[in-house]
Structures are given as C-alpha cells and as structure tokens.
C-alpha cells in the first residue's frame, strides 16, 4: 500500500513508500483510509526522534471504510463508514471508568505511538472506530477527531453560557474554526482573534464569529463589548506568543482555557493577577468518544459545518504542512486523500 513515511525525523525526510498492508489482529479492524486531516500533532510526530515504529506513518486523524475485521470483533462490519477516535485507552483504569478515555493512564495517540492514517490502509482497535451517521460525508467526518473534538471538550469544560463574551485566539486553525462555531451554538458573543483578520473576516463570520479582530485590537473590542469588564471565556491553544495578552483580557470570575501550545509552552503567571480576579485557568486535552458521537450528530443535523480548506493527494504531504502553517488565507482543515 502507498503510505507517507519517514525514517529520520524532519518534514524534509517525508516520502511516499510502498508499505505492507497491515492485518487486523483480535479486536481490531482494517480501515481503507479515505481522508486524513493534517494537524500540528503530526508535525510534532514527524520531528520527534522517538517516534515508533520506524519507518513511521504519521496521521492522527482520519476516516474511511472498514475493509476487514479481526477475530472476535462485533458491532462493526465490512463496508461500515467510520471515523477514528485517536486516543488509545485500556478501558479499565479510573479515568476510563469515569468515561474520560482522554486521560487514560495507558494512553497514546494513533499515528503517534502506532502507524497512522497518511496511508491507504490503517489498523485500529474496534473501540476506536465510530460509525459515521447518514448525512455526514467522510471528508466532513475526518475534520472532527483532533481540532473539533478538542474545541468541543474545551467549551464543555469552560461551561460557556448564553450571552457571555468568548474570545477565540488562533481563530483560523483546526481548533479555533470549530471553537467559534461551538461558542456561537452556546449563545455566546464570539470574538475571533487572528493576525490575518482582514483576509479571513468573511470566512470566520460565516462560521459564527460576531467580531473578527487582530491581537492589536482585541483588548479594545472586548472592553467595548463588556463595559470594560473583559472576556468571560478566553480560548487559547496558541501558547506562549499569545498568553500575556489573552490572560490579561479575562474578566473577573472568567475562565481561561488551553489545549495546546503551538508557539511554546513556557509562560509567566503573576499570581495576584490570577487570584485577585478569581480567574479559573483550565487545561483540556482531546475529548471523549461520547463527545465525538455528539459532534457526528451535530454534523448530521447540520447544526455545525466542517470547515475544509483544501484536499490534496498523499504525494503533496509537504505542501499540506506548508498550507497549514503558512497559507495566509487558510481557514479550517487541510485533508490528504490516499
């Protein structure tokens, strides 16, 4: 089968190779990959010298059709359309029993600690293959497991209420483009923050943003909207480069939430600025299978939409990363089509 692989870390070392078609073991299914989302997590995997196995196939987000089921597999059949929940979990630890597979003590990400979806085929545990409902296409489904699920889980944890002012940093990205929609769905007043505000204003407003502003303008706009109080919720998965600004605009009793640190993870926190405002700082990572099911339902009911920017053949994997990181007009997901 055709696959994107690397043997030495580095985007420049990615190549297309003919790899053996994997065989599903007990409790596993073989998926013919139709669409694979490109995410920062793949970039970090490709640059990780500890990635295994080698040659390594990246790809932490994909959808496809079940082509073969392993021994002892029930509940799914050959021909089923599925989207892959990418967190491996044991199903037995305290967090799994709480329904929080994303915190499993024996966890890892498909495509990071196993072969991923930048290939014609991938083997995954049956418990990670969720059926795609009628009315949802496989390209739409492929946008959900990383950015959308992360954003949904963040807004659940931040408990966004109707009428609250929500600022979304990194608004054009895989997380941000969904966080805007989910905040709107919860009745919030959504301020999307992007360095490229002028170029992407239209696209972000179509996703539900009420205001699209640059980091230079966000403070003033939030102050006007809140009579100087600040944002009730700030969603910021950008990291180090936006922290000082994004934390400074949180209202008293507000929430600041992160699920990523694309620009670096080390920040300085002034404790009085935290306690005197009674700000909640919330961490979030991925989401649960139950939440992924909710997102599939929301898509099938057309309550949300999948922002797909472009689709490229596997051969163009390096272009895909260039577009994700550098394309000034990009809003939403870059998909690979094996």
Interacting residue ranges for Zn ion, rule: CB under 5 A = 89-90, 93, 96, 104
Nearest-approach distance from CB 96 to Zn ion, in angstroms: 3
Q: Which is nearer to Zn ion, 258 or 288 (CB)?
A: 288
CA distance 80 to 58: 23
Of residues 104 and 245, the one with the C-beta less far from Zn ion: 104
Q: Give whichever of 93 and 113 is closer to Zn ion, judged by the CB atom.
A: 93
CB of 90 to Zn ion, least distance (A): 4
Q: Return the number of the residue (96 or 262) whose C-beta is nearest Zn ion.
A: 96
Residue 177 CB, shortest distance to Zn ion, in Å, is 30
Residue entry with tokens 């890892």: 108
Q: Which is nearer to Zn ion, 108 or 163 (CB)?
A: 108
Do strands 15-18 and 189-193 pair parallel, antiparallel, or not at all (unpaired)?
unpaired
Instruction: For residue 195, give the nearest of 177, 213, 207, 176 by alpha carbon.
Output: 213
Least distance from C-beta 114 to Zn ion, angstroms? 16
Q: Shortest gap between Cβ of 167 and Zn ion (angstroms)? A: 34
Shortest distance (Å) from residue 116 CB to Zn ion: 21
Minimum CB distance to Zn ion smaller for 143 or for 284:
284
Round to whole Å and give the CA distance between 258 and 113. Answer: 23
Neighbours of 29 (CB within 10 A): 26
Dump the DSSP string for 91-102: S-SHHHHTT-GG
**DSSP one-letter string for 17-41:** EE-PPP---TTEEEEEEEEEE--HH
Kindly write down the DSSP assignment for every residue of 197-239, as one continuous string. Answer: HHHHHHHHHHHT-SEEE-HHHHHHHHHHHHTTS-EEEEE--S-
């Amino acid at each position: 089968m055709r696959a994107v692989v690397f043997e030495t870390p580095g985007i420049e070392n990615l190549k297309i190779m003919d790899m053996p078609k994997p065989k599903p073991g007990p409790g596993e299914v073989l998926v013919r990959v139709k669409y694979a989302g490109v995410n920062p997590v793949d970039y970090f995997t490709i640059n990780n010298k500890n990635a295994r196995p080698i040659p390594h196939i990246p790809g932490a987000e994909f959808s496809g059709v079940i082509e073969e089921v392993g021994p002892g597999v029930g509940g799914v059949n050959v021909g089923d359309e599925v989207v892959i929940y990418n967190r491996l979990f044991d199903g037995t630890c305290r967090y799994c029993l709480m329904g929080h597979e994303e915190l499993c003590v024996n966890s890892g990400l498909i495509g990071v600690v196993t072969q991923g979806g930048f290939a014609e085929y991938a083997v995954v545990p049956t418990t990670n293959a969720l059926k795609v409902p009628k009315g949802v296409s496989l390209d739409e489904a492929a946008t959900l497991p990383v950015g959308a699920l992360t954003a949904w889980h963040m807004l659940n944890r931040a408990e966004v209420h109707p009428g609250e002012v929500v600022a979304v940093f990194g608004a054009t990205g895989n997380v941000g483009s969904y966080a805007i929609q989910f905040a709107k769905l919860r009745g919030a007043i959504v301020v999307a923050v992007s360095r490229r505000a002028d170029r992407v204003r239209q696209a972000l407003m179509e996703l539900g943003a009420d205001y699209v502003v640059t980091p230079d303008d966000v403070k003033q706009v939030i102050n006007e909207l809140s009579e100087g109080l600040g944002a009730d919720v700030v969603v910021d998965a950008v990291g180090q480069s936006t922290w000082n600004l994004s934390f400074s605009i949180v209202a008293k009793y507000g929430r600041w939430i992160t699920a990523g640190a694309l620009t670096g993870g080390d920040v300085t926190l002034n404790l009085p600025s935290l306690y005197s405002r009674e700000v909640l700082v919330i961490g979030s990572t991925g989401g649960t299978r139950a939440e992924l099911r909710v997102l599939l339902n929301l898509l099938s009911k057309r309550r949300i939409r999948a922002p797909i920017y472009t689709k490229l053949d596997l051969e163009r994997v390096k272009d895909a990363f260039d577009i994700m990181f550098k394309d000034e007009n990009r809003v939403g997901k870059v998909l690979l089509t094996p």
